[in-house]
Structure 1
């Protein structure tokens, strides 16, 4: 991986309705992300946090089923510009969330630099909802659909182009909570997905070997979007939408270690750390540990 990393915080909690996830970037900094990566001999530039405009109250925008649409779109447009500049400077963008709606901006900034960007979506959820299929109207359940060009134009058009990614270049890992509209879209688009059923049967080693081989064949870069609720809530309690029966701490480290060995990840984000719901910053510390493994940290 590139030895120069730009760290970008996005204190966003407008894509859902549970307060506290806006403190995720601070929690991960407090857990030592800068020191962890510098100890691995990376040159790390912390660009601080994106400024997030806040509505007077959490709301659904008139005429849509989307919560805080204008503010979420504005924040992601800002993020896309920052990420775009980081990639232009030939640095690795490492984005800290914030809720998962920030992936809209991250991918908008990254994908324009690749012909066939691959995406590993490490998450309990597929995030393939739209305003029509979402039970909640929370945009953090929509970023993967938006990046495919499916959804509200204020979101799909961020960065001035769409779609950002192609369905055949996506691998979802760890899914165990899918809405009916998402299941339909996965089948229609032929999106590769490893639910917990497949992971339990195959084992994480095989899942990652297959994922790496699949993406190496057809992509010229890979973005890792890691939602901490992909892990089981026993290991990562500080998330807004926990789903039991998830990936273990050790399985997740193995996944990151295998990605480091394959050297295919060109950008990454770690999202949905909510310190208000956490236990002694446990989830933020796990996130930082996974970043260490992703960037080549070894036991020996």
Structure 2
């Protein structure tokens, strides 16, 4: 314990109690100040109804603050028919809402401080020193007990060997390191914490890919890199460590594949990758039913805000960010405007309905090959219809099918230099079957197969001719006689 206390004291940097500022708030650019309030333009016919308001009430109404809390057009309609006393009471109620809703120093607590005097301040993420264990040669360890079959030994991602340190990754010349990140606080504790565990315990990842007839386990050097430590009381502290671990993997030359956990992980994932490959050099294809670029929430990092953070902090250029599958109730027109101003490209299910999945997929694939040096694929499983992914915290009907999702994941990984991948929002306890974890693993295997196809130099859109057809005739007319 004394050793841990000494290490914690060094990491804590003193004994004073300080606010939790591990992750600084994003600096809002001047053209995107969510605190900016536009003055309210009051129609002339409504102005005549406001004679009963004194100057403080009228100034408050004209300031535009009220538009935060009520629909202004509905308010105007009400004013047109309401008596003077009702209008005064309405404006007074809005002023009370404003006073109660806004932060007020001395009344409201912005955060609960961390106690840096604790000798266990950093123990949650303290890595086990190698000297505590018997000496061994660096490199991956295969935990399977038997040579054949699926039984025995320990469950790992894609039935892969395990690695514990960067030295293991380097010694094994590892190409893909799959790591769990059981962070769930960013989604309000909806069970994404168990996503990594469920995917390890369920089949589907690892083994032959019929489309290409490639077995990623044989074609690639893949490892399970364990789970990243999470401070289950602090999203801020957790994402800092996730960033460190993604950076640790990427710095060895291996591709990090992060299994979540909720989608707030996209922020540290991309920040960690950018630390290695350079800010603004990575492109992103983000599959999701939600836009995840909220800009005005009290908590500055949750599963609805990672897109805003990675772009506003410069880890990824907006022009290199592509979204696929949007269909939830957001974004509003203002946020669509922000996305367009940042150069983002998005493909909603409205676009799919109008033009068809094949055309939209080809467009997204072409965009992914533009501009950026490397590509990160961020896959929120709620982009799929709940019929295929019921075990997720915020399902939205009308999504992609597995037959649509698998080919584009395979092709993205086959046609691009992959910086990393995350598969997030897997919440197995919300699924009465095991299809969520199973289908998530099949998506993971499609990614691995795509990476293996690129390594082998196969052309985009490649299908193995043996699996395409039986070859006993020229039924499709595409074979030379």
- After superposition, the Cα gap between the structure-2 partners of 1:261 and 1:206, relative to the gap in structure 1 and judged at 3 Å, is farther
State the alpha-carbon separation in 1 of the partners of residues 418 and 286 from structure 2.
Answer: 12
- The equivalent residue for 2:448 is 295
- After superposition, the Cα gap between the structure-2 partners of 1:40 and 1:170, relative to the gap in structure 1 and judged at 3 Å, is farther
Q: CA deviation at 1:105?
A: 0.9
The residue matched to 1:219 in structure 2 has which SS? coil
State the alpha-carbon separation in 2 of the partners of residues 278 and 50 from structure 1.
Answer: 24
Based on CA coordinates, which of the two structures has the bigger radius of gyration? 2
State the alpha-carbon separation in 2 of the partners of residues 51 and 136 from structure 1.
Answer: 22
Comparing both structures, which one devotes a greater share of its residues to strand? 1
CA deviation vs aligned residue, 1:185-220 (integer Å, no higher than 9, x gap): 223323100000112233333223222322322110
- The equivalent residue for 2:197 is 26
Q: Is the 8 A contact 2:216 2:448 kept in 1?
A: no
Report the TM-score, using the length of structure 2 for normalisation: 0.53
Q: Is the 8 A contact 2:426 2:436 kept in 1?
A: yes
Q: Is the 8 A contact 1:224 1:269 kept in 2?
A: yes
Q: Is the 8 A contact 1:194 1:207 kept in 2?
A: yes
Query: For 1:99-114, what aligned pairs fall within 5 Å after superposition?
Result: 99-112=262-275, 113-114=277-278
Q: What are the ranges of 5 or more consecutive residues in structure 2 without an aligned counterpart?
A: 1-172, 208-214, 451-462, 468-481
Report the TM-score, using the length of structure 1 for normalisation: 0.83
Q: CA deviation at 1:236?
A: 0.6
Q: Aligned to 1:41, which of 211, 214, 219? A: 219
| 1:256 paired to 2:427 | no
Q: CA deviation at 1:164?
A: 0.5
Q: CA deviation at 1:73?
A: 1.8
Q: Is the 8 A contact 2:369 2:416 kept in 1?
A: no
Q: Aligned to 1:222, which of 345, 369, 375? A: 375
The residue matched to 2:186 in structure 1 has which SS? coil
State the alpha-carbon separation in 2 of the partners of residues 119 and 285 from structure 1.
Answer: 25
Q: CA deviation at 1:260?
A: 3.5
Q: CA deviation at 1:169?
A: 0.3
Q: Aligned to 2:327, which of 165, 176, 201? A: 176
Q: Is the 8 A contact 1:128 1:185 kept in 2?
A: no
Q: Aligned to 2:281, which of 106, 111, 116? A: 116
State the alpha-carbon separation in 2 of the partners of residues 165 and 25 from structure 1.
Answer: 26
- The equivalent residue for 1:5 is 176
Query: For 1:133-282, what aligned pairs fall within 5 Å after superposition?
Result: 134=297, 139-149=302-312, 162-177=313-328, 178-180=330-332, 182-282=335-435
- After superposition, the Cα gap between the structure-2 partners of 1:135 and 1:239, relative to the gap in structure 1 and judged at 3 Å, is farther
Q: CA deviation at 1:262?
A: 1.5
- After superposition, the Cα gap between the structure-2 partners of 1:264 and 1:212, relative to the gap in structure 1 and judged at 3 Å, is farther
State the alpha-carbon separation in 1 of the partners of residues 300 and 319 from structure 2.
Answer: 26
Q: Is the 8 A contact 1:124 1:246 kept in 2?
A: yes
Q: Aligned to 1:126, which of 291, 298, 309? A: 291
CA deviation vs aligned residue, 1:199-249 (integer Å, no higher than 9, x gap): 223333322322232232211000000000000001110000000011111
Query: For 1:45-84, what aligned pairs fall within 5 Å after superposition?
Result: 45-55=223-233, 71-84=234-247
Q: Is the 8 A contact 1:205 1:254 kept in 2?
A: no
Q: CA deviation at 1:135?
A: 9.1
State the alpha-carbon separation in 2 of the partners of residues 193 and 213 from structure 1.
Answer: 13
Q: How many residues in Structure 1 have an aligned counterpart in Structure 2?
A: 270
- The equivalent residue for 2:252 is 89
Q: CA deviation at 1:33?
A: 6.3
State the alpha-carbon separation in 1 of the partners of residues 232 and 286 from structure 2.
Answer: 28
Q: Is the 8 A contact 1:208 1:258 kept in 2?
A: no
State the alpha-carbon separation in 2 of the partners of residues 137 and 16 from structure 1.
Answer: 13
Larger RCO of the pair (alpha carbons < 8 Å, separation 6+): 1
Q: CA deviation at 1:137?
A: 7.4
- The equivalent residue for 1:158 is none
